[in-house]
Each structure stands twice: as structure tokens, then as C-alpha cells.
Amino acid sequence: MGNDRRISQIFKGKLTLEGAGVRLKRALGYYEVPLFDPFLLLDDFHSDNPDDYRAGFPWHPHRGIETVTYLLHGSIRHEDSMGNGGIISPGELQWMTAGSGIVHSEMPEPESGLLWGFQLWVNLPARYKMMPPRYRGVTRQEVPVVALEDGGELRVIAGVYEKTKGPVRDIVVEPQYLDVRLTAGSEFEHRFKIGSKVFAYVVDGEGVFDDGGEAVKAESAVLYGDGGPVRISAGKKGVRFLLISGMPIREPIAWGGPIVMNTEIEVDKAFREYNEGTFIKTKKNK
């Protein structure tokens, strides 16, 4: 157990207004961003008060990143500039590669009841920032569920758990994205590539996220150092968490709202193109 991954830092989600006025908890997306490379942002939108979310995320651009929206409760209507559209329902997700540029909207539907989900932003290396955009919608039935020995379960969204592969593949930073639910008092172990960045986000309940540590409660992000496996023990009421990893990019970050590039010049160019109507790349305006 001497080479287990140990907790480096714990970050508590911060109340934030995003989109057209959606109240959410931001687990990462501030000063701590370089520590989570290649991940830029993780938002937890979770409320049964429609006033907290009905304004949604109207049409807006992205460039240079991937956005991953994963829904637990409620429904969201998605539309984008490539012609994709539809409803994201509980247990479903969209993995959108903005690349050279995409404009999209995500609006709650219907505008009542519990809405609960997460949006993760994944950075793209410089050589891929202007790649053609692509969209992948994943239904609940496409996400494999692995039964754990103690009665818990694990959903594989991306990457591999033992021999089970997730439906989202061919992603630049080689991510793993697992949704893990442990029963009370049970334990979980998983090994990641040496050199990969690993973090967990506690969705519900509480658990101990390294050997001998203190319990970590919901709405907290646990950042691990490098090493071998992670070992997690559930508390008395069990624990649910997202376990995410990817290979660091180690490049400069220039961030302007929904645009993430390597230099401020590139960010300014993106917004200028958006205002001029040349943001969406075609054969004519490349």
C-alpha cells in the first residue's frame, strides 16, 4: 500500500451563477485549474427550485475544449450549430468536442422538479484546439453498469474498468470517467496510469478517499497525487462519487469565458470571429 495515490488537496464546491442565471456549485474552475490539468472546470447543478435553473444556458460559443454534460435527474434540451439536437434524460450524457468552434444551447425541459447533473470541461492540446467539432450523445442503455462485490455498482462513461469499456472513446487526453456507488462500509480500489491526473467528486454521502484519512462529504473534489491505485472506503450511509482521470497537457492556458486557447491573441481572435460571423469554420472561412 506504500505506493497508493494519496490525497493532495480537497476543494469544496463554491456557489456560482452561470449561463443566464443558473445557480450551481463549482468544484473546480478558479485558481486551482493548473493543478487539475487537463481538466478545467466541474460544475454541479442540483436544485428542485426552478428559479435556480430555468434560465438555462442559451446559445453560446465554445472553442479549444470538450464539454461533458452528465445528467442524474431532470431533462435538458440540447441544440448546436452542427444540427444536433435532442433531450438529455437521467443517466444520459453528451460529450461535445468544440475544437475549432461550436455554438450550442442547453435548456432545462420541463422547467420544474429536480434538476441534477454535472458539466466537465476538458482542455485540448494546442495541436487539437482547431480540430473539426464533433458531438456524441450517449443514452442510459449505452453506459455499461458493473456490479461490485459488496452490492454497489459502477457506471463506465469513458475509459476502462477491468475489462468493461465505456461508450465514449477516442478522446485526446485518454480520460476515464466512472460513476461509482458504494454501499455502507464497503471499499473500492482502482489503478490508473502512472503520470495521469486523478480526482474524485463526492456526489452523495461520505467516504474516506485514502488510507487513514478523514471522511470527505458531498460537493467536494478530492485531488490525488501520482502513484498506484486509489483506495476508497464508504461511510455509514454509503457514498457516490465521480472518479475522473486524464493525461496532463502541460501547456499555457488563456481562458476567456467559453473559449480556452494557449494565448490571449488566440482568445481575442475567437471572439472577433464570433462577432464577425466567421467563428464556425467552413471551407470558405478556415
Q: What confidence tier does 112 reach under pLDDT thresholds 50, 70, 90?
A: confident
Residues 17-46 have pLDDT tens digits of 999 999 999 999 988 899 999 999 999 999
Residue 38: asked if its preceding bond is cis (omega within 30°), the reply is yes
Is the pLDDT score of 82 beyond 90?
yes
Is the pLDDT score of 174 beyond 60?
yes
Measured CA to CA, the distance from residue 262 to residue 129 in angstroms comes to: 9
- pLDDT, residue 285, reads 53
Measured CA to CA, the distance from residue 92 to residue 139 in angstroms comes to: 5
Q: What confidence tier does 110 reach under pLDDT thresholds 50, 70, 90?
A: confident
Q: What confidence tier does 172 reach under pLDDT thresholds 50, 70, 90?
A: confident
Is the pLDDT score of 221 beyond 90?
yes
Is the pLDDT score of 55 beyond 80?
yes
Residues 62-77 have pLDDT tens digits of 999 999 999 999 999 9
Residue 90: asked if its preceding bond is cis (omega within 30°), the reply is no
- The amino acid sitting at 130 is M
If you average pLDDT over residues 211-225, what whole number do you get?
Answer: 93
If you average pLDDT over residues 90-99, what whole number do you get?
Answer: 95
Measured CA to CA, the distance from residue 106 to residue 66 in angstroms comes to: 15
Q: What is the pTM of this model?
A: 0.95
- pLDDT, residue 170, reads 78
Q: What confidence tier does 282 reach under pLDDT thresholds 50, 70, 90?
A: low
If you average pLDDT over residues 86-100, what whole number do you get?
Answer: 95
* Mean pLDDT computed over every residue of the chain: 94
Is the pLDDT score of 195 beyond 90?
yes
Give the whole-number percent of the chain exceeding pLDDT 90.
88
Cell representation of residue 90: 437521467
Is the pLDDT score of 215 beyond 80?
yes
If you average pLDDT over residues 131-155, what whole number do you get?
Answer: 94
Domains in the chain, CATH or no CATH each: 7-276 (2.60.120.10)
- pLDDT, residue 284, reads 47
156 or 285, higher pLDDT: 156
